[in-house]
Amino acid sequence: MIYFDNVSKIYNNNSFALEEVNFSVEPQEFISIVGHSGAGKTTLLKMLLAEDKPTQGSVFFESADIHSLPKSKLARFRKRVGTIFQDFKLLPQKTAYENVAFAMEVAGRTDKEIESDVPHALNLVDLEDKMWHFPHELSGGEKQRVAIARAIVNQPDLIIADEPTGNLDPINTYDVVQILKKINDLGTTVLLTTHNKGVIDSLGRRVITIDQGRIVRDDQHGRYVL
């Protein structure tokens, strides 16, 4: 489904953010990418979302090189990916309902579908009663759950979660991980980056370890080892 082919990213001062990264992801996998801060986890996800271009190598989604896609096809690709960020990245002037609805609007869904699916998605993350709240009226855990609802509402093929528990307390962390597991069990591929040992160890799924931009381990049933 996803294939990183010899991807390197070098920034201006000749430092490698990623160096000759090769790995593939199969459909319905749950992969965790771990590493210290600055190891290159977020750069790797930026390559996958085509937020940044690799200096060398290619990233394929199915058979398409993501960085060669024209703008219209790039937008279409992004609609097939749900993204969850450490800092939530909700639209501050929109309510929880509108944030989730926005993802459906850009996917070209009808008003009727939006009206029926958004409450359902918010119900899945247990936020039905706060759907008309603005992000600044929600706690960190609640914001992240809105972000998850936004990511899953279009039933994407892939969920990318970039340190989604980084700003959360243990209880909210547990909740978010459980939701991600549930999403994966329903058939969606999940790519998670984290440096939370407890999360990785509780998952018992494939773990890729990155250090100084290089993949140093790739274990099918990994634990957090650095």
Return residues touching another protein (CB under 8 A). Answer: 49, 51, 71-72, 75-76, 78-79, 81, 83, 89-93, 102-103, 105-108, 110-111, 150
Q: How far is CA 121 from CA 35, 95, 124, 186, in A?
A: 31, 14, 5, 14
| Chain centre to alpha carbon of residue 184 | 12
Rounded to the nearest whole angstrom, what is the least distance from the CB of residue 224 to another protein in the complex? 28
Determine phi and psi for 93, rounding to 5 degrees.
-95, 5
Rounded to the nearest whole angstrom, what is the least distance from the CB of residue 99 to another protein in the complex? 9
Residue closer to another protein by CB (options 193, 209) is 193
Q: How far is CA 206 from CA 11, 191, 192, in A?
A: 29, 10, 10
Rounded to the nearest whole angstrom, what is the least distance from the CB of residue 124 to another protein in the complex? 18
Residue closer to another protein by CB (options 51, 126) is 51
CA angle, 194 as apex, 191 and 199 as ends, to 5°?
95
Determine phi and psi for 225, rounding to 5 degrees.
-125, 120
Residue closer to another protein by CB (options 192, 207) is 192
- Spatial distance between the Cα atoms of 148 and 175, rounded to a whole number of angstroms: 11
Q: How far is CA 148 from CA 38, 93, 141, 190, in A?
A: 25, 18, 11, 12
Residue closer to another protein by CB (options 137, 201) is 137
Residue closer to another protein by CB (options 81, 183) is 81
Rounded to the nearest whole angstrom, what is the least distance from the CB of residue 77 to another protein in the complex? 8
Rounded to the nearest whole angstrom, what is the least distance from the CB of residue 108 to another protein in the complex? 6
- Spatial distance between the Cα atoms of 175 and 177, rounded to a whole number of angstroms: 6
Strands of the sheet containing 64-65, edge to edge, are 16-25, 2-10, 56-61, 64-65
Rounded to the nearest whole angstrom, what is the least distance from the CB of residue 176 to another protein in the complex? 19
Residue closer to another protein by CB (options 90, 176) is 90
